Structure 1
Amino acid sequence: MPESNTPNTIPAEVVIKIFGELSLQDALHLAATSCRLRQVLDENMPTIYKRLRRNIQCEGYARVLLADQGGLPSDSSSVTIRDLLRLRRISRMVEKAINVFDHDITPHIRTFEVPTTNIDDTFYGGKPRPLHLTPTERHRFTRSYYQFWSLLLLNRPSRQQRYRSLLLKHLYMVYEMIDLDQPIGDEPPPPTEKRRELRGEVDTYLCHIYYKIHGKDYIDFSGQSISMRTQGHAAIWDHCQPDFKQVVCYQWRDPQKKPIKDEKVWEHTTDEE
């Protein structure tokens, strides 16, 4: 009888390709089935991870968080199996947070939108506003969650440096994430003193950087119109993006004002990554 294809007989090149087609979780499950498969993953991590990373939402921000937790630098070309396990863990925690958010917040957003017809036609293909986060909204949530989780881990000097690296758009979203009514990462419930400290820091820096960029006082985005009364979370929604951009680029109060270059406050990353 011909020899069957077992993990020990399949060529390493084929195994590498198989790993690259899997999700992070499935790749780890496959590696756990035999010593040889784990060895192939371990010895070919740079090649395999280039493929695995595409399945990790907001992978760049997850890698920054991983580095803040003591993992390899975020610009490293590879990760270890231990890092993959940690990436899986933090990805699961974000997914759990999204599920809670979709249960407690997302279904109720429509009650704050009057009227809804134009919103539905323009942003949701004529269908009613979904009862769950859209792919782009999930991206904004995930990115902001990772960014705020990192801030919880850093000491004050490192946080101040991190603030300076954030776009104005991202600062708004991180500020909203502070009000998330659930623990973030490994934060114990209820919200800790660290979170209250961060609220004051981010608020102060947000006001400072807004004035530095625009020469005008900071504009609070939440509550600027009926459609934005969204329980403290306004910048996340697809239908709020045009108004949000007007605020971040300071066109809300002065539509004739020449907008600041987008890349300085807005167009650095997309919400489809």
Structure 2
Amino acid sequence: MHTIPTEIIIKIFGNLPLSDALHLATTCRRLRQVLDENTATIYKHLRRHILCERHARVLLADQGGLSSDSSSVTIRDLLQLRRNSRIVEKAIEVFDRDITPHIRIPLTSIDDEFYGGKPRPLYLTPTERHRFTRSYYQVWSLLLLDRLSRQQRYRSLLLKHLYLIYEMGDLDQPIGDDEPGSLFADEKRCELLREVDAYLHYLYKKIHGQEYIDFSGQSVSMCTRGHAAIWDHCQPDFKMIVCYQMRRSRKSEKEEEVWEDTTDEE
């Protein structure tokens, strides 16, 4: 191992998923030293393997880590990022067990458009996983903040993402480090939901000059089990409501203020 140049080892680390890179560093002192001394450089490559990395970094900062804008990271930061991502993956496993298989789409044409003529998958699609992961990280972050900091965070969010955050806040399982059945965690979640709901009503009226239009599992015709904004097949209707495109031929003039078409985060 001592004969392999450090530059090559750095490239090897950078081409691995975060978990594998951390495991590799435990195999010998030399590899641990290379990761420790070149963490920031290696992370520039590792970050592309982290789902919704930008929001994972925001959560890390809210947990007391370095600012999400900082290029510096430590092995301790990497360990925390891995721990957080495992919690999200576990949440997705539970969601795919309890919720996703029960989604029913009554319109065959929707199946054809979004799932290639096949039935809706029994698990989250890649784009749905992005929406789930992003909003899970955002809710987790908000639960760590005090009320004033949360209010400031709301003002930085697009209307589209506030809908997803409100939906995720009602997830029927613990979020982050919450203990199941914890009274304090339940109260904090309820407080968050009240705040997001109030801000959604305020922001929708401010942007569109119209009263807030709901888009929850109870407000759409499909059986969405309390969720709606996350599903691929709901996106056209979701966008129409968020952008207030009540007339499909008219594009919202304020679309850039409420919606973000992305490939990396969705």
Tell me the TM-score range normalised by the shorter chain: over 0.9
TM-score (norm 1): 0.92
1:268–1:121 CA distance, 2 compared to 1 (3 A) = closer
Kindly report which structure 2 residues correspond to 1:70-85, keeping only aligned pairs within 5 A, or say none: 70-85=64-79
2:135 to 144, 167, 186: 144
Greater Cα radius of gyration, structure 1 or 2: 1
Q: C-alpha distance in 1, partners of 2:149/2:29?
A: 40
**CA drift at 1:261:** 3.0
Q: C-alpha distance in 2, partners of 1:138/1:104?
A: 15
1:239 to 233, 246, 249: 233
| Alignment match, 2:30 | 36
**Within the alignment, does 1:114 sit opposite 2:106 as a pair?**
yes
How many residues get paired? 262
1:159–1:268 CA distance, 2 compared to 1 (3 A) = farther
Q: C-alpha distance in 1, partners of 2:40/2:82?
A: 17
Which consecutive unaligned segments of at least 5 residues does structure 1 have? 1-6
Kindly report which structure 2 residues correspond to 1:8-19, keeping only aligned pairs within 5 A, or say none: 8-19=2-13
What are the superposed Cα offsets for residues 59-109 of structure 1, whole Å, 9 maximum, x if unpaired? 000000000000010011131000000000000000000000000000000
**CA drift at 1:269:** 3.8
1:187–1:260 CA distance, 2 compared to 1 (3 A) = farther
**CA drift at 1:262:** 2.3
Which residue identity does 1:262 align to in structure 2? E
Deviates more, 1:29-38 or 1:206-215: 29-38
Q: C-alpha distance in 2, partners of 1:235/1:271?
A: 18
| Alignment match, 1:261 | 254
**Within the alignment, does 1:154 sit opposite 2:148 as a pair?**
no
Q: C-alpha distance in 2, partners of 1:260/1:71?
A: 39
SS across alignment from 1:187:
coil
Name the % identity. 73
| Alignment match, 2:154 | 163
Which consecutive unaligned segments of at least 5 residues does structure 2 have? none
Q: C-alpha distance in 2, partners of 1:257/1:214?
A: 14
Kindly report which structure 2 residues correspond to 1:67-106, keeping only aligned pairs within 5 A, or say none: 67-106=61-100
1:192–1:168 CA distance, 2 compared to 1 (3 A) = same
Which residue identity does 1:39 align to in structure 2? Q
What are the superposed Cα offsets for residues 191-214 of structure 1, whole Å, 9 maximum, x if unpaired? 510001111101000100000000
1:210 to 204, 211, 223: 204
